[in-house]
Structure 1
Amino acid sequence: MKTVQDDTGKRYLLLKRSEHASLVRDPQNGNECYVQNDRLEDLESESALETAAGCVSDPVKTLLTNVHDETTLGLLVELEERGPLGVRTLLDAYDFCESDLHGRLTVLTAAGLLEETEVAGERGYRVTETCGRALEVIRVDEGDEPTATAETSDVS
């Protein structure tokens, strides 16, 4: 499978190529259609899997690519739930050593998921709007079991 782009700049996944037209799939909605070959160009700079990931919203992609364990995810959930927290509070309330917390906060801030703020006159952190939107999308309602369905994965 390859990524192709039509003459309007729209990206597709190439499914099948014939002499005059190609069958392509829109990664955003899954629709398949034929497009004339003279309207398509191959994109070597983007893999088919990167194109397929285009159906995932940017906030969720940022969260998924920067949060690599449940502890870090829990840190973001707690900061969203409890509001901005100072570094001392984070160290006292949660099971982090100072260097581990600093490393996580640095990565999450660089990714745009956290932003530094002042809490009670000291340095603290809060989730960004991007992080809040991503957490809202992935959060499970009470009583619901987390499942990977077309409904939950079709977020824009």
Structure 2
Amino acid sequence: MMDNFTPGPFTEELVTAGIPERLHEWLSGYGIGALVLKMGIHFLEMSPERTVATMPVEGNTQVAGILHGGAHVVLAETLGSFAAGMHAGTGRHAVGIEVNATHHRSIDTGTVTGTCIAIHLGGTLTTHEVVMTDDKGRRLSTARITNMLRDNGPAKKAD
């Protein structure tokens, strides 16, 4: 448990999404984002080098009843952006500048697992590969995301 940490308005959201307690202070003022909540993404591992999460197929399908291709990309960008943000560290943040995906296989039920592995962790750019698999370990899609790391701006004064 972190010393001198007061739970913020997003603490319950962070716990529900599987965010490790060591990252609660970092995300306490922002949460994990409305889209991540809507997609049902649940984190299993989180580090700049490797971030893993699951997402249900149900509720994320397109008209043909299979997982929407955009849902694959949302999972990939979520994982890559969180990993890049952790690498950026205090006083900095990650901004996605490129994402691409190749879809290999469709899925119409079950859970998708995204595994994000760092390809490059630099001072100004990070690149991660994200592989989405089904419950049997079959590759569904492969994505790559590049994030630019930027310094946070000056704090804004309240009016």
Q: Computing the radius of gyration over CA atoms, which structure comes out larger, 1 or 2?
A: 1
TM-score > 0.5 by shorter chain:
no
Q: Which has the higher strand share?
A: 2
Task: Name the TM-score, length of structure 2 as normaliser.
Answer: 0.25
Q: Which has the higher helix share?
A: 1
Task: Name the TM-score, length of structure 1 as normaliser.
Answer: 0.26
